[in-house]
């Protein structure tokens, strides 16, 4: 393909989920070879729908999606599908091909090298579920790369990645010579490689295409919003003036009524000229995670722990951690060293060298949300964690996390990853834990919610253990002690 050749072209494409939920309305845009685009838009604007239309997983209601002849599209989703977690690495990669690929092992080795997931052992026979969250994120990316796509679609690819992983991914995307489209809220990451933005307007349901990086376009959109607000303010003043004059002339009777009628027509035209100004996504309300009552003395202690060394061998290390009420611990370490494994063992009460004081209730936020019952409705799941049922309080807490209307009656497995995260936080509020364990709580969460969440965690009065690879988020939280598993 020539560099200028179109890879995919949307021509008057419309799509809706039933009659009551239109997503795209006669959308037009073109992606050419070598473009590196970010996708921006509010929650519910249709970013994931846009990806599904590009891959062909969804079909437009009307319009045409023209793909270059023989073009291959590959997607790295946010999470590994649950049905693929029990596969070996070899079978996991094989599942992305329609026909059997002979001698696939060298291809697997090549893409694992690209995503910096290599070790001193053969990984092909390991189960996907045995990898850490950060390593699974790299497997997802590698599953797209092994298909050698002409169009690479990445949905929140930095979730679970440590600093090294993000740097490695960024370098790969800078050097990648084919077309890339990325959904992400990480401005620094996007600015490093994107050359344009597709902006989904939730009001007009159009896709606007902008040149420049994420920050450039965000600034341009803010300028446009200010202009729209000024225009609407001017029109509102003229509309009110004309209404007042029309009422005055209508009372005069005779020919003045014709003047009044003309002015009312002008009012209608000006009302139509007003534009729907873009509004920010709704943000969750400030909240408090109540701590378990009557906590005293040492809540949790850690005298030793196990990490995975360079050759994948377990190494036992000594520690001297004592968490009391209102003590916050940050757990650090690269992907694959054993952070999530340690957190899970602490939550289950099986971690060697760890002691949880009897009677202390643990609130555990897992990065894969597996502490939630995916088969239960949000309402039933939240009611279960309350202890003493209180529907009024349940609905009030749920509403503060934007869980209202039909969402509260929806099965958790049908929610978006971001909604599952908000349900998990609502559960913690209702649980009243004595020890709060959080494993990558920023994953999948709208970036506008993060300052609210950080404030709630900073003010938590129980004991807390936090794992997060997002420095900006961690900097907003009170941390009393740090345990670096690598040192």
Residue 370 has pLDDT above 70, yes or no: yes
Residue 180, strand partner residues: 36, 152
Q: How far is Cα 240 from Cα 368, in angstroms, rounded to an integer? A: 54
pLDDT band at 377 (very low <50, low <70, confident <90, very high): very high
Sheet holding 481-484, edge to edge: 362-365, 435-439, 463-467, 328-332, 481-484
Name the pTM for this structure.
Answer: 0.70
Place of tokens 């050419």: 32
Q: What is the CATH number of domain 6-218?
A: 3.40.50.300
Q: How far is Cα 118 from Cα 103, in angstroms, rounded to an integer? A: 19
Strands (DSSP E) contained in 19-173 are: 22-32, 36-41, 62-67, 73-76, 151-155
Lowest-pLDDT range of 128-137, 212-221, 298-307: 212-221
Cβ atoms 485, 333 nearer than 8 A = yes
Convert the pLDDT of each residue in 5-28 to its tens digit.
Answer: 889 999 999 998 866 678 899 999
Q: How far is Cα 119 from Cα 336, in angstroms, rounded to an integer? A: 11
Indicate the burial class of 126 (C-beta count within 10 angstroms; 0-12, 13-18, 19 or more). middle
For 439, phi then psi, to 5°, come to -110, 105
Provide the 3-class DSSP secondary structure of residue 308: strand
Query: Quick one: DSSP state of residue 290?
Result: P
Mean pLDDT, all residues of the chain: 87
Residue 442 has pLDDT above 70, yes or no: yes
Question: What pLDDT does 40 receive?
Answer: 85
Kindly state the average pLDDT of the residues 350-367: 92
C-alpha distances (whole Å) from 483 to each of 184, 311, 327, 438 are 29, 22, 13, 15
What's the chain's Rg over C-alpha atoms? 26
Residue 204 has pLDDT above 60, yes or no: yes
Does the 298-484 domain belong in CATH 3.40.50.300? Answer: yes
Read off the tokens for 283.
Answer: 């943000």
Q: 328: closest CA among 459, 432, 484, 468? A: 459
Convert the pLDDT of each residue in 66-112 to its tens digit.
Answer: 999 888 999 987 788 889 999 999 999 999 998 888 889 999 998 88
* Cβ-Cβ contacts under 8 Å for 90 (sequence gap 6 or more): 104, 105, 108, 124, 125
Provide the 3-class DSSP secondary structure of residue 408: helix
Provide the 3-class DSSP secondary structure of residue 241: helix
For 153, phi then psi, to 5°, come to -110, 125
pLDDT band at 279 (very low <50, low <70, confident <90, very high): low
Q: How far is Cα 244 from Cα 133, in angstroms, rounded to an integer? A: 63
């Amino acid at each position: 393909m020539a560099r200028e050749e179109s890879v995919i072209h949307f021509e008057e494409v419309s799509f809706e989920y039933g009659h009551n939920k239109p997503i795209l309305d006669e959308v037009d845009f073109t992606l050419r070879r070598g473009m590196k685009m970010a996708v921006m838009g509010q929650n519910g604007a249709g970013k994931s729908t846009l990806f599904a239309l590009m891959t062909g997983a969804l079909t437009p209601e009307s319009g045409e999606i023209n793909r270059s002849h023989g073009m291959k599209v590959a997607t790295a989703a946010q999470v590994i599908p649950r049905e693929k977690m029990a596969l070996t690495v070899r079978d996991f990669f094989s599942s992305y091909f329609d026909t059997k690929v002979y001698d696939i092992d060298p291809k697997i080795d090549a893409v694992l090298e690209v995503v910096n997931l290599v070790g001193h052992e053969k990984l092909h026979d390991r189960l996907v579920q045995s990898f850490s969250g950060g390593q699974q994120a790299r497997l997802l990316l590698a599953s797209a790369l092994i298909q050698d796509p002409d169009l690479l679609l990445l949905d929140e690819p930095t979730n679970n990645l440590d600093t090294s992983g993000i740097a490695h991914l960024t370098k790969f995307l800078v050097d990648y010579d084919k077309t890339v489209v990325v959904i992400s809220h990480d401005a620094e990451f996007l600015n490093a490689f994107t050359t344009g933005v597709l902006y989904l307007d939730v009001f007009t349901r159009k896709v606007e295409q902008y040149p420049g990086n994420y920050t450039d376009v965000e600034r341009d959109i803010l300028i446009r919003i200010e202009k729209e607000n000024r225009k609407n303010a001017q029109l509102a003043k003229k509309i009110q003036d004309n209404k007042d004059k029309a009422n005055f002339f209508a009372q005069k009777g005779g020919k003045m009524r014709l003047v009044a009628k003309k002015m009312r027509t002008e009012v209608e035209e000006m009302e139509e000229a007003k534009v729907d100004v873009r509004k920010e996504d709704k943000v969750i309300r400030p909240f408090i995670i109540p701590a378990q009552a009557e906590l005293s003395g040492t809540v949790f202690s850690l005298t030793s722990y196990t990490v995975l060394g360079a050759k994948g061998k377990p190494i036992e290390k000594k520690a001297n951690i004592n968490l009391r009420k209102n003590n916050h611990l940050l757990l650090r370490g690269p992907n694959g060293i054993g952070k999530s494994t340690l957190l899970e063992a602490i939550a289950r009460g099986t971690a060697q060298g760890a002691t949880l004081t009897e009677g202390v209730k643990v609130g555990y936020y897992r990065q894969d949300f597996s502490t939630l019952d995916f088969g239960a409705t949000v309402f039933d799941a939240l009611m279960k964690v309350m202890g003493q049922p209180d529907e009024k309080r349940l609905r009030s807490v749920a509403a503060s996390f934007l869980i209202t209307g039909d969402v509260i009656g929806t099965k958790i497995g049908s929610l978006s990853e971001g909604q599952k995260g908000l349900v998990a936080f609502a559960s913690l509020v209702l649980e009243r834990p004595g020890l709060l364990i959080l494993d990558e709580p920023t994953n999948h969460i709208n970036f506008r919610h993060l300052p609210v969440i950080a404030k709630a965690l900073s003010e938590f009065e129980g004991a807390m253990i936090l794992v997060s690879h997002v420095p900006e988020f961690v900097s907003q939280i009170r941390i009393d002690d740090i345990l670096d598993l690598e040192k």
